[in-house]
């Protein structure tokens, strides 16, 4: 494995809004900063057509905001590398070694993990084709684009039921399509959904295909999980909530996390591993928005500066 001579102060893993903001602040704080992103920088912004809830931008294309954030991060000196982080490990001196799939090795005394999470996909025809044109994984991000429409939410857990309820603010009607005839969601959320006149449950059905026209989704092809019968459900959009997995598997040390694997941090965004920080969707928190991601990232980058200063002071005391 090629050893890269990398005198970085901090390595940011992931180039979504949290990663780009962390890199911008770290660079501005005169830290030698490396950001590693596997694809184009922007993360989930690149899967979002239009953004209307990022303060200061009433209406901006996801890719346009991604480009602006990338340029802004680079302006203050952050180095961006396209590669996939394979592992983040702590070394004996308390610093970190980051290994990538292109077999590069980078070292820094602090790492900010902003690797986001991955919504579980249905894996059916039409899902990829209509992503951003009627297929969504975030009600808060995209719900407002479906005013007066008939929508489907897939799933029967807390996320599906809660987000279906949220979507009725905009939609004329929301079908909750669930593969069984009983919800997994908590009683209180179930009660709320059942008493919402805009919500109708479609039991024992799985989505076989998402169909549409060039402008977007128009219907779902469903299969009855009991009888096997095929039917069609006309909808203007489908929101999929069948689970979400934080991308924390790269961290090869035990860290404190919740039952779903989200990283627990303190108020400085530091995880239970000293020097390992987290920001954005990988972190335990109430909501996962662009604004919360950049807020986390701001705190994390400034906390890294303080952490490194304290580490230098301790090293100086130890040496004297
Ligand atoms: P979840 O609880 O795992 O529920 C996933 C749902 O998707 C289940 O109903 C499951 O069906 C269904 N499903 C899974 N794979 C599917 C497939 N391929 N096709 C169709 N349906 C499929 O996930 P979640 O709702 O995202 O919640 C994750 C965690 O976050 C939970 O612990 C939840 O309590 C928590 N959460 C809490 C709140 C809140 O308290 N307000 C809000 C959101 C999330 P089955 O039921 O048949 O397995």
Give residue 68 CA to ligand 1 midpoint distance, Å.
34
Burial letters for 38-67: b for 16+ Cβ neighbours within 10 Å, e otherwise? eeebbbbbbbbeebeebeeeeebebeebbb
For the CA of 259, the closest atom of ligand 1 is 32
Domain that holds residue 266: 2-118+244-319
Give residue 243 CA to ligand 1 midpoint distance, Å.
5
78 and 184 inside one domain: no
210 and 304 inside one domain: no
235 and 248 inside one domain: no
Q: Is residue 289 part of a domain?
A: yes
230 and 251 inside one domain: no
C-alpha 26 chain-centroid distance: 21
pLDDT tens over the chain, length 320 residues: 444 445 899 999 999 999 999 999 999 999 999 999 999 999 888 877 788 889 999 999 999 999 999 999 999 999 999 999 999 999 999 999 999 999 999 999 999 999 998 899 999 999 999 998 999 998 988 999 999 999 999 999 988 999 999 999 999 999 999 999 999 999 999 999 999 999 999 999 999 999 999 999 999 999 999 999 999 999 999 999 999 889 999 999 899 999 989 999 999 999 999 999 999 999 999 988 899 999 999 999 999 999 999 999 988 888 87
Cβ neighbours, 10 Å, residue 237: 26
The SS3 assignment for 105 reads strand
Q: Atom 28, ligand 1: which residue's CA is nearest?
A: 243
Quick one: tokens of 103?
């077999």
Cα→Cα distances 64→59, 131, 134, 183, 282, Å: 10, 18, 20, 39, 24
Look-up of token digits 């809660």: 162
For ligand 1, pick from 119, 159, 161, 260 the residue to mutate: most ligand atoms within 8 Å of CB.
159
Give residue 160 CA to ligand 1 midpoint distance, Å.
7
Q: Is residue 75 part of a domain?
A: yes
Q: Is residue 214 part of a domain?
A: yes
Give residue 161 CA to ligand 1 midpoint distance, Å.
9
pLDDT of residue 315: 87
pLDDT of residue 11: 98
Q: Is residue 259 part of a domain?
A: yes
pLDDT of residue 217: 98
Cβ neighbours, 10 Å, residue 273: 19
CATH of the domain at 153: 3.50.50.60
69 and 41 inside one domain: yes
Ligand 1 binding site (Cβ under 6 Å of any ligand atom): 122, 154-160, 162, 179-180, 184, 206, 241-244, 260
231 and 251 inside one domain: no
| Active-site residue list | 138, 141-142
Q: Which of 197, 213, 240 is the last residue of a domain?
A: 240
Q: Which of 212, 240, 268 is the last residue of a domain?
A: 240
Q: Which of 240, 257, 292 is the last residue of a domain?
A: 240
104 and 171 inside one domain: no
For the CA of 182, the closest atom of ligand 1 is 46
């Amino acid at each position: 494995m090629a050893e890269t001579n990398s005198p970085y102060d901090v390595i940011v893993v992931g180039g979504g809004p949290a990663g780009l903001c962390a890199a911008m602040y770290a660079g501005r704080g005169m830290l030698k900063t490396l950001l590693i992103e596997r694809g184009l920088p922007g993360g989930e912004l690149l899967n979002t057509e239009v953004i209307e809830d990022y303060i200061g931008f009433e209406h901006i294309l996801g890719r346009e905001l991604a480009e602006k954030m990338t340029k802004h991060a680079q302006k203050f000196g952050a180095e961006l590398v396209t590669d996939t982080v394979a592992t983040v490990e702590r070394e004996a001196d308390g610093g970190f070694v980051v290994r990538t799939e292109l077999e590069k090795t980078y070292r820094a005394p602090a790492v900010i993990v902003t690797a986001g999470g991955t919504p579980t996909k249905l894996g059916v025809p039409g899902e990829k084709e209509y992503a951003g044109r009627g297929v969504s994984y975030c009600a808060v991000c995209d719900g407002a684009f479906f005013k007066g429409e008939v929508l489907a939410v897939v799933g029967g857990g807390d996320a599906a039921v809660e987000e279906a309820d949220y979507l009725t603010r905009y939609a004329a009607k929301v079908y909750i399509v669930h593969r069984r005839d009983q919800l997994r969601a908590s009683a209180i959320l179930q009660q709320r959904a059942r008493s919402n006149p805009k919500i109708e449950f479609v039991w024992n059905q799985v989505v076989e295909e998402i169909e549409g026209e060039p402008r977007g989704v128009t219907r779902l092809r469903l299969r009855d999980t009991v009888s096997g019968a095929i039917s069609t459900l006309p909808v203007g959009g489908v929101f999929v909530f069948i689970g979400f997995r934080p991308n924390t598997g790269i961290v090869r040390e035990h860290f404190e996390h919740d039952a779903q694997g989200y990283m627990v941090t303190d108020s400085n965004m530091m995880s239970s591993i000293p020097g390992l920080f987290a920001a954005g969707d990988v972190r335990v928190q109430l909501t996962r928005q662009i604004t919360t991601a950049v807020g986390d990232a701001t705190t994390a980058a400034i906390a890294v500066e303080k952490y490194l200063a304290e580490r230098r002071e301790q090293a100086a005391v130890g040496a004297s």
